[in-house]
Amino acid sequence: MADAAEAEQDAPGRSYGSGARILTVGIASTGILSFAYLALASHELSAEQYGQISLLWSILFVILSVIYRPIEQLLSRTIADRRARGLEGHPLRVPALIQAGFALAFLAVALPLRTTLEDELFGGSATLYWILVVAVLAYAGSYFARGWLAGHEHFAGYGGLVLLESTSRFLFAVAAVLGITSGQSAIAIGMAVAPFVSLMVLPFALRRMGGADRGARAAPVLDAAGEGPAHAEIEEAAADLSLRHGTRFAVAVFAIMLAEQTLMNAAVLIVHADSGAALAGFVFNVLLIVRAPLQLFQAVQTSILPHLAGLEARSSADEFARAIRVTVLAIAGFAGACALGLLAIGPWVMETVLGDKGFTYERGGLALVAVGMGFHLIAGTLNQAALARGRAPQAAVAWLVAAILFVAWVASPIVGDEVLRVETGYFGAAFLLSGLLFGLYRRPTD
């Protein structure tokens, strides 16, 4: 995919393809390390303790994706759009205000619910609760840095940041396995330490960037006479930095992230409430089939949004469509290969890597989840196209519809086997979502 897109340059010396390739290396390693962290935790802890760790992981990354990814996307799109138009300066005040507002809103909810969260979700563990609180606040800086780096297409810095984060977290699980530390808390604390460690990349990234961004900036968009930036386009770019516009975009992406995390984690919470932490941990393991590729796909999502925003700013419709087409075809091939592999050896791989917790992996269900993962990734690609075209609110509606139907399905007794209910529900929701977003993508631009 990266090679096919290499020729699509959106600034001198830069491309979506090269950016995706650089990020793929870093984020692929990140995905492997995250999977290894959970695998070691699964082997080291009891089913009940691992269920609580997986629940903490689910809750943490639901919150992070919902309240911080909108700002990452806002920064990435706005900075890339302004760079494509040749506009100077990328004010950060509005995104920072929105980010701080989301963090304070989290505290306003989490602190009064401390006793409930400790008792109902974490088995009375105050340590797991405070790990959640500290990690959520620490990740505010990490996600802000990601958006800034992505908008400037400094993908090496972005990849280094997430790789250092996952490496430091993984080492806490390794320490427990080697006997240096022990217990649930010793492994879980890695989730809170990782975002602090990841920010160590920033000084090196900033120093390496230097004046490169000024040299790589695209030429200004000229008016009809070819004498300077078009007045209407300057007004449009300026609007991107207003609090009202930034908040509108962030709220729409907030809804999208909430819906996506609902698809990923609502099933774990529902099963936990109905059948306990052990089965919830098993469902979490089944959905790792989705989590690992989604984490890898962040490389594509991170690089394709500023690329598409630049193409949209320059009205490059053919290149825009080609980037989407190449990405979708690559996803289809990847998901198909995963489904075939899971049909062949899926149960053996899952039990070998994640351990036998007393439940059985069904190859047909695993393959169905893999196909659903493909539709999910396609939906993510079409979603970035919608964001680049300023259609975040319409995309949010599609995501919310799919998420609501998924929750209704998983919570219903239509399918007696809870695991199969999750697997079929996820596939159906991802298929519906990709169809809705494809319809939005095919709508003519204004």
Q: State the SS3 of 418-446.
A: HHHHHHHHHHHHHHHHHHHHHHHHHCCCC
CB 401 within 8 A of CB 256: no
**10 Å Cβ neighbour count for 222?**
13
User: What SS3 state is found at 13?
Assistant: coil
- Angle of helix 243-275 relative to helix 363-388, nearest 10 degrees, comes to 170
pLDDT value of position 91:
65
HSE (side-chain half, CA atoms, 13 Å) at 308: 28
Once rounded to an integer, what is the mean pLDDT over residues 352-358? 70
- Name the nearest CA neighbour of 80 among 160, 133, 147: 147
CB 268 within 8 A of CB 279: no
Does the pLDDT at position 397 exceed 90? Answer: yes
Distance CA 417, CA 410 (A): 10
Does the pLDDT at position 192 exceed 90? Answer: yes
> 210 vs 104, which has greater pLDDT?
104
Does the pLDDT at position 433 exceed 70? Answer: yes
Tell me the backbone φ, ψ of residue 15, rounded to 5 degrees: -160, 160
Of 61-75, 362-376, 390-404, the range with the lowest mean pLDDT is 61-75
pLDDT value of position 242:
60
pLDDT value of position 22:
62
Distance CA 87, CA 243 (A): 19
Tell me the backbone φ, ψ of residue 242, rounded to 5 degrees: -75, 150
Q: Domain of residue 55: give its range.
A: 2-442
Please name the residue ranges forming H helices in 68-113: 69-84, 93-110
Once rounded to an integer, what is the mean pLDDT over residues 390-399? 93
127-to-59, 134, 189, 225 alpha-carbon distances in Å: 15, 11, 8, 65
Tens digits of per-residue pLDDT, 312-335? 777 778 888 888 998 899 899 989
Once rounded to an integer, what is the mean pLDDT over residues 32-53? 85
CB 106 within 8 A of CB 67: yes
CB 300 within 8 A of CB 381: yes
- Dihedral sign for Cα atoms in the order 18, 19, 22, 28: negative
Once rounded to an integer, what is the mean pLDDT over residues 409-438? 93
Does the pLDDT at position 136 exceed 90? Answer: yes
Does the pLDDT at position 86 exceed 50? Answer: yes
HSE (side-chain half, CA atoms, 13 Å) at 186: 17
Exposed (0-12), middle (13-18) or buried (19+): which is 132, by Cβ within 10 Å?
buried
> 233 vs 127, which has greater pLDDT?
127
pLDDT value of position 403:
96
Tens digits of per-residue pLDDT, 300-312? 777 778 778 777 7
pLDDT value of position 154:
80
pLDDT value of position 234:
37
Once rounded to an integer, what is the mean pLDDT over residues 410-421? 88
Does the pLDDT at position 10 exceed 60? Answer: no
How many domains does the chain fold into?
1
- Which tokens sit at 39? 């695998």
> 173 vs 248, which has greater pLDDT?
173
Of 13-22, 183-192, 229-238, the range with the lowest mean pLDDT is 229-238
> 124 vs 298, which has greater pLDDT?
124
How high does pLDDT run on average in the chain?
81
User: What SS3 state is found at 222?
Assistant: strand
Q: What is the pTM of this model?
A: 0.71
Radius of gyration in angstroms for the set of CA atoms belonging to the chain, rounded to a whole number: 22
Once rounded to an integer, what is the mean pLDDT over residues 96-106? 90
Split at pLDDT 50, 70, 90, the class of 245 is confident
Q: Which residues contact 336 (CB under 8 A, 6 or more apart)?
A: 371, 374
HSE (side-chain half, CA atoms, 13 Å) at 354: 27
Place of tokens 């490389």: 299
Q: Which residues contact 202 (CB under 8 A, 6 or more apart)?
A: 145, 157, 161
Distance CA 401, CA 408 (A): 11
